[in-house]
């Protein structure tokens, strides 16, 4: 017998019902339904950023809480993450659509020992949307990978992401190595990830902690313009 959900026609739901259904579908890892619903919201005139934050990130927060409370386990969370990425793949080109002039270049990656990449991918997308060039190193990055990319790409900004309390100290290893090599001040260093906070960012010697992707964009813009002003003053 057909399941009740099989009969559900997403396009017939109003916005509020559709977002609630997306929370359920994300929870159940239903990638195709998430992609369809993402497109429906866009077709109804929702801004890509609103679809991202109000439906996808909102749904993922519920998944995160139940993962924390032992109600969901790794395989289910992986399916949810996969569904979220399906929605993000539709939003990515829209968030990146911009006439903004190139703002600067960022190398970003999740630190060694950590395979969480959804937040980092969001930051990368939003930075591209704001006119930054982004070199995404993916997950599990050792200090050498960051330093090599910074040099090869002639980047302005280093972005590091960590989602585990056990991996966040590795950010300090990267920054300390930059100091040892005398290159720390050549780059703007921004850090982010759910377990971090402003105090931690300061303590490890980052230029700023970014609470979310939108803050990362604003902070990056702010630091780039400070750098330009400093360079002009020194010229
Ligand atoms: Co993991 N996991 N996980 N996990 N996971 C957390 C982080 C956890 C908090 C869950 C929990 O217990 N509530 C917990 C960490 C606890 C702790 O350290 N104190 C945890 C754990 C324990 C683990 C494992 C150890 C579980 C296990 O194996 N027993 C394991 C670790 C594997 C490893 O990394 N070595 C693990 C595995 C996984 C999955 C693979 C199943 C999956 C990851 C899939 C993937 O990323 N491709 C997963 C997921 C999905 C999560 C939760 C549920 C969701 C994370 C997420 O994507 N959030 C998470 C619970 C939670 O955070 N509520 C959890 C959505 C995303 C949009 O937010 O990543 O915070 P976030 O990014 C935000 C900001 O933080 C910021 O901007 C982003 C967008 O606004 N930001 C930056 C992030 N990076 C930035 C970089 C910047 C700037 C801003 O640079 C400039």
* Predicted confidence (pLDDT) per residue in 108-165, tens digit: 999 999 999 999 988 888 788 677 899 999 999 999 999 999 999 999 999 999 999 9
More confident residue, 67 or 200: 200
Instruction: Compute the distance from residue 146 Cα to the ligand 1 centre, in Å.
Output: 20
Q: Write out pLDDT tens, residues 150-199.
A: 999 999 999 999 999 999 999 999 999 999 999 999 999 999 999 999 99
Specify whether 161 is located in the same domain as 47.
no
Question: What's 189's domain CATH number?
Answer: 3.40.50.280
In a domain, 120, yes or no: yes
Give ligand 1 pocket residues (Cβ under 6 A): 57, 60, 63-64, 67-68, 74, 77-78, 81, 108, 113-120, 122-123, 159-161, 163-165, 190-195, 210, 212-213, 216
Rounded Cα distance between 231 and 53, Å, is 36
Specify whether 122 is located in the same domain as 196.
yes
> How deeply is 65 buried, as exposed, middle or buried, from its count of CB atoms within 10 A (0-12, 13-18, 19+)?
exposed
Rounded Cα distance between 158 and 151, Å, is 11
Residue 103: pLDDT band (50, 70, 90) is confident
What ligand 1 atom has the least distance to the C-alpha of 106? 91
Residue 5 has a pLDDT of 55
In a domain, 194, yes or no: yes
In a domain, 4, yes or no: no
Specify whether 36 is located in the same domain as 117.
no
Helix (H) or strand (E) run with residue 159 in it: strand 157-161
Specify whether 225 is located in the same domain as 159.
yes
DSSP character for 119? H
Rounded Cα distance between 124 and 159, Å, is 9
Residue 1 has a pLDDT of 36
Instruction: Compute the distance from residue 46 Cα to the ligand 1 centre, in Å.
Output: 27
Q: Write out pLDDT tens, residues 64-82.
A: 789 889 999 888 988 998 9
Q: Which residue range(s) make up the domain with 39? A: 11-97
Instruction: Compute the distance from residue 209 Cα to the ligand 1 centre, in Å.
Output: 17
How many Cβ atoms are within 10 Å of 105's Cβ, its own excluded? 17
Specify whether 116 is located in the same domain as 150.
yes
> Considering 97, 115, 136, which residue would you say is the last residue of a domain?
97
Instruction: Compute the distance from residue 194 Cα to the ligand 1 centre, in Å.
Output: 7
**Residue nearest atom 46 in ligand 1 by C-alpha distance:** 116
Instruction: Compute the distance from residue 38 Cα to the ligand 1 centre, in Å.
Output: 22
Indicate the pTM of the whole model.
Answer: 0.85
What ligand 1 atom has the least distance to the C-alpha of 163? 7
């Amino acid at each position: 017998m057909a399941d009740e959900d099989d009969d559900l026609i997403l396009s017939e739901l109003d916005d509020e019902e559709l977002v609630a259904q997306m929370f359920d579908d994300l929870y159940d890892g239903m990638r195709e339904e998430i992609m369809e619903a993402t497109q429906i919201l866009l077709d109804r005139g929702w801004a890509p950023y609103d679809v991202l934050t109000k439906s996808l990130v909102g749904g993922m927060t519920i998944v995160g809480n139940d993962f924390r409370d032992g109600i969901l386990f790794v395989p289910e969370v992986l399916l949810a993450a996969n569904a979220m990425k399906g929605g993000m793949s539709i939003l990515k080109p829209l968030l990146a659509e911009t006439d903004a002039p190139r703002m600067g270049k960022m190398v970003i990656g999740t630190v060694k020992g950590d395979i969480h990449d959804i937040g980092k991918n969001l930051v990368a997308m939003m930075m591209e949307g704001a006119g930054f060039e982004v070199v995404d190193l993916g997950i599990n990055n050792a200090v050498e990978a960051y330093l090599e990319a910074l040099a090869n790409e002639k980047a302005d900004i280093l972005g590091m992401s960590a989602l585990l309390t056990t991996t966040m100290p590795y950010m300090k290893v990267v920054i300390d190595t930059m100091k040892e090599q005398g290159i720390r001040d050549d780059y703007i260093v921004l850090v982010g990830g759910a377990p971090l906070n402003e105090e931690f960012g300061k303590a490890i010697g980052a230029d700023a902690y970014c609470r979310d992707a939108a803050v990362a964009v604003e902070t990056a813009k702010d630091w780039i313009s400070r750098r330009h002003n400093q360079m002009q003053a020194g010229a």
